[in-house]
Amino acid sequence: MLDNIKNIHIKTLSKAWATLSEINYDYQFKNGSWKRVSRESYDRGHGTGILLYNPEKGTVILTRQFRMPIYQTKKEDGMSIEVCAGAIDDKDSPESTIIREVEEEVGYRIQEVKKVMEAYTSPGALTEKMYLFVAPYSADMKVNGGGGIASEHEEIEVMELPFSKALKMIESTEIQDAKTIMLLQYAHIHSLLGKKNGE
């Protein structure tokens, strides 16, 4: 427990899809002064994301889907290119969650995943921590067409791309999703698809 924060008061502003809270607290700055601070925090639980890669083909699996917050910012295009991802249910582990999401969203049945990092993608406003994984895939792991679950109003396009093209899509800003950029750069730094494919 930090000793430079006290008198915390939390007010719930909304409990619709997730919980939006207003948090007021006293914070002691380095000069010794205390200030009353007010912040808002959005709690939607934690999430997972995974980069599926095929070293033999030099390809990765990404998804493309509509995202309303992007549409709010850029009305001409609300689509987002991302790694496969999903929210963690209370009773599930990050590993079991992402294995299930891979089959639902992109149609591959994988058995093992490797966690490579944990990250808060917007710690100034979101409590969400992302557990990020990588795993190899091959054609024989394909069990369905993917696309998400209709009851959850998902409509997901599955994209198999050359890894080198995916990296260029970061530079061209076609890919702007933070978790996707982090995982693609991880794969590049660690040469998961070989140095040739990461050129």
Pairing of strands 84-87, 114-119: unpaired
Q: Measured between alpha carbons, how far apart are the two ends of the chain, in Å?
A: 46
- pLDDT tens digits for 71-111? 998 777 889 999 999 999 888 999 999 999 999 999 999 99
For tokens 């591959």, name the residue. 108
Consult the annotation and say whether 101 binds a ligand: yes
For CA atoms 178, 184, 185, 187, give the dihedral sign.
positive
Hey, where are the domains in the chain? 5-43, 47-189
In the chain, pLDDT over 70 holds for what percent of residues?
94
DSSP 115: E
22 is in an annotated binding site: no
Task: For the chain, give the number of residues.
Answer: 199
Q: What pLDDT score was predicted for residue 76?
A: 76
Check the annotation: does 18 bind a ligand.
no
**In whole angstroms, what is the distance from residue 120 CA to residue 7 CA?**
25
Is 166 marked as binding a ligand?
no
Q: What is the pLDDT of residue 152?
A: 62
Q: Which CATH number fits domain 47-189: 3.40.50.970, 3.30.1360.170, 3.30.420.40, 3.90.79.10?
A: 3.90.79.10
Helix (H, G, I), strand (E, B) or coil at 149: coil
* Arithmetic mean of pLDDT, 153-176: 93
The answer to whether residues 95 and 85 touch, using CB atoms and an 8 Å cutoff, is no
pLDDT at 144: 85
Residue 150 in this model has a pLDDT that exceeds 80: no
